[in-house]
Structure formats: C-alpha cells, structure tokens
Amino acid sequence: MVALVSVVVLLGVIAGAVFVYANFKVKGNQEQVEVAEKPPNEPMNVLVLGSDSRENLTAEQQASFGDTEVVPGRRADTIMLLHLDEQREQAVLVHFPRDLKVDDPQGKAVKINSIYSLGPDAMVETVSEFTGMPIHHYLEVDFNGFNQIADSIGGVEVFFERAVRDPDSGLDQPQGCVKIEGDQALAFVRARKIDDDFGRIRRQQLFLKLMVDKIATPGVVLRPDRVISLVNVFSRAVKYDAELTLGDLKTIGLRLRKFNSGNLDMRVVPSAGARIDGVSYVVANEKQTKGLFAALASRSPLPDYGRTGVSAIDPEEVRVSLLNGTEVDKLALAEGEALKAKGFQVLETSNTTPHATTTVYHSEGFQDQGRLLANNYGAPLLELPATISAAGQVAVVLGQDFAASHPPPAAGSGGTLSPGATASPPAPAPPAPSAPAPQGPKPLVHACED
C-alpha cells in the first residue's frame, strides 16, 4: 500500500496519458466496504491489511511454504493503520500485532486477525472502536500480490546478523547483506519463529522503509515505462474501498510528495504477550494505547508509546531478582536501589554463579518484561535456566562488565535484601562519564548500511 501511494506521488509529476491509463487499470479492483466520510482539512485514516489468502498462488509458490495446511476462514496476516495529516505533513503507520486481544461483534474475546474472516466491514468497525478514530479508507493485498510488488521493484537489501532458516515461512538466508525479493520477501515479512511477533513487525517496517526509498529513486521517477509497469502490478495486487479514487490518491501524493521513509513515523500498538484462560494473546497497555491514539486524533505531539525500543510494560509491573555474578561485595544491593528508583519491584538481591557479561533471564511467559530490563542494561535476553534460582519474573545477573564501569559500594553498606524488606544503603556512585548509554540487543535484521 505504501508502494501504491508512492506510485501516485510519481503520477503527480508524470501527468497526462499515464494518469488516465492508471485510473482505468485500478477501477476494477474496488472492494465494497463501509467507511467514514473524511471532513475537509481533517487527517485521513487508512486501514491496510495483508491477508493470508493463497487462492492466487501457483503450485510452486505453495510448495515454498511449510504451513500449507488449509486453515478454516481467512485471517489478516498483517494489520496497519496509516494516519495522514496533510496540513501538518505528518504520516504515522501503526502496526497491530496479529494476536492482539479484542472483542468480536458478539463481545467475545478473540485475536484481531480472526476478525478478518467476518469480512472487511467487521475489520473496519473493530479497528475504529479500538482506536477511537474513524476509518476513511481500506486497502488489502494478499500473498500473491505482495510477491508481485516485491518483484516489481527488484527487492530490497537487508543484513542478517546470523544465518536463518524457517521451514514454516520458507525463509532461508545466509549471514550478511543479501537481496530479498519474490517468495523470500514474503517469507521475510511473515516469519514468526526466528524471533517473535514484535520482531516480525520490525522486519515488516524495515521492508516498507526500504521499499519506499527504492521506489522514490530517479530510476523510477523519471521513467514512465517503470511507472506503467508498477501501475499494472498494483492494479492486480491491491484491493481498496470504492470511495478511494485515483484522483484522491493523486491529490494526497502531490501534497505529501516530500515524504520519505525518514519522516514516516512507524509505531506498534503498545502491548505485550500474556496467557489468558490457556490462550496466548498480545494485550494492549490501555494507558499507553489511549494516549497514542488520542494524540493522533487531537493533532497533539505524539508520546513515545509504541516506538521501537520503547516497552509497553511499565516498570512497576516487573518483579526483579537482582543477582551478583561478580566478586564485588554488595554490588547487587546498590544496583537494586537504583532499579527501585526507576519503579521496578526488586524482590531480592543475592549472589550467583560468575558471569563475564551482564545477562537478563526471563521466566516462561515474561519475555516482554525481560526485554525491558535487557534494553535498560544493553544486555542479552535468555530464558531462565534451571541452574539459576530466582523469585522474580526476571533475573538480572550483573557481570564483570558491569562491575568494571560501576565503582564498588562503600564498606558496611548492608547485606542481602530479602523479599519485602527495605534497605537504605548509600546512593551508588554515578557511572563514569565515558560509559555509553545502553542501546539494547542488536536486532537480527537491519539495513545493510546500518
């Protein structure tokens, strides 16, 4: 869909017969969807869906997937809300985790991707109720359509920190900088088991950024034949509501032609994984979610909620065991006070086996809580092993690297903090000025130049 808008931007500078041709081609792919009317000078909200339909795939493409078993009903593999504010030259793209817990029309708790089986109108209504914002337009692309779009631009180049092979999606790539196109592009944005659902969203956002930048190159902008080729692809690949005309898109494109991936603000609904009645969901942080969409609706400055690296877990919700993996006496006790000052619940501090590197371990079901601490320390995140005893949801083991950059606590500053106990040791000395700010774990996939 972002690529479609980019093509419309190109049509804004290549007028005449190309526009007439494009208008003729896309009229045949309209979907009957009930959407809200956009008042003049108000922002536009566009619901964008990537469906898991395989009806237009070839046998060879079907064979490239490991999950070819037919699932009853259609599901939305990707759900995004594009917010376009022409007056403020603001574009915000908000991803919805496919397992996000919402209510269906009967009030039953379901995962949002299953709403798609009830039809486009149900998806529009659900997203509008969840965000508190009207939906003015609807666009949809299926598996085969995405393949065609990726091939039409010649793919994009991404860097893998390690080799990956995922039989379920068909993704199979070596370590290093590689070109992703066609079936591998689809596998790249669909794979869920090489990291997690939030990692999957980050990969989708990365692919969109790279795709927008590639389409906006002079090699496309200045060549009407390339524009015609892209229009042909998009006219087959993208469905949209009958109220959205190419003329509307052209007007938007002309007004937003200065936009690129650098000023396209990408977010995800502030949320975290949870298990409810034996079912794994992604549950929205109600305060952060309301704050994000309220700011969009009121044209207020956006909070950091939903940004990459900003956790949807509030520190006061995280119960921490702080363990000293060094020979520095009372190191964990002093750091425990620092964590408590940030709002975390520090249940205990004690010693554990030696660790050269500070490491964060999470108990089963508390990966998101662990990610918040891992980002805080710039540390790796692992599942809690049986060899480490911890009372909290998350265990932070301070390693030699932490001790090297933090002076030891003053002598006689107290002992181990038991659960529920309080202590008042001297405030820990601030880190050395040269100590870098924690950056968090490096993502599995990023742009080649990063």
Q: Which amino acid is at 179?
A: K
Q: Count CA atoms within 13 Å of residue 166 on its CB side.
A: 21
Task: Report d(CA 263, CA 22) in Å as an integer.
Answer: 27
Residue 322 near residue 391, CB atoms below 8 Å: no
Which of 89-98, 232-241, 341-350 shows the lowest per-residue confidence on average (mean pLDDT)?
A: 232-241
- 274 contacts: CB under 8 Å, gap ≥ 6: 101, 280, 281, 282, 283, 365
pLDDT-derived band at 27 (thresholds 50, 70, 90) equals low
What angle, rounded to 10 degrees, do the helices at 2-13 and 224-237 form? 140
pTM of structure? 0.67
Task: Report d(CA 252, CA 89) in Å as an integer.
Answer: 11
Domains of the chain (ranges, CATH numbers): 2-298 (3.40.630.190), 315-427 (3.30.70.2390)
pLDDT digits (tens, 9 = 90+) for 390-430: 998 999 999 999 999 887 665 544 334 444 443 334 334 34
| Region 35-59 average pLDDT | 78
Both tokens of 139, joined, read 């666009």
Please give the pLDDT value at position 221.
Answer: 56
pLDDT-derived band at 128 (thresholds 50, 70, 90) equals very high
pLDDT digits (tens, 9 = 90+) for 68-109: 433 444 567 789 998 988 777 778 989 999 899 999 989 999
- 32 contacts: CB under 8 Å, gap ≥ 6: 241, 242
Supply the DSSP symbol for 444. Answer: S
Q: What is the average pLDDT value for the chain, to the nearest integer?
A: 78
Both tokens of 96, joined, read 């919805």
Which residue would you say has higher pLDDT here, 374 or 135? 135
pLDDT-derived band at 349 (thresholds 50, 70, 90) equals very high
Please give the pLDDT value at position 435.
Answer: 36
Which of 305-319, 331-345, 410-424, 433-447 shows the lowest per-residue confidence on average (mean pLDDT)?
A: 410-424
Q: Helix or strand or coil: residue 252?
A: helix
Task: Report d(CA 112, CA 126) in Å as an integer.
Answer: 8
Helix ranges restricted to H, 258-414: 286-298, 331-341, 367-377, 400-405
**In the predicted structure, residue 158 carries a pLDDT above the cut 80:** yes
Residue 332 near residue 351, CB atoms below 8 Å: yes
Please give the pLDDT value at position 423.
Answer: 36
Could you tell me if residue 343 is left (phi over 0), alpha (psi between -120 and 50 degrees) or otherwise beta? Answer: left
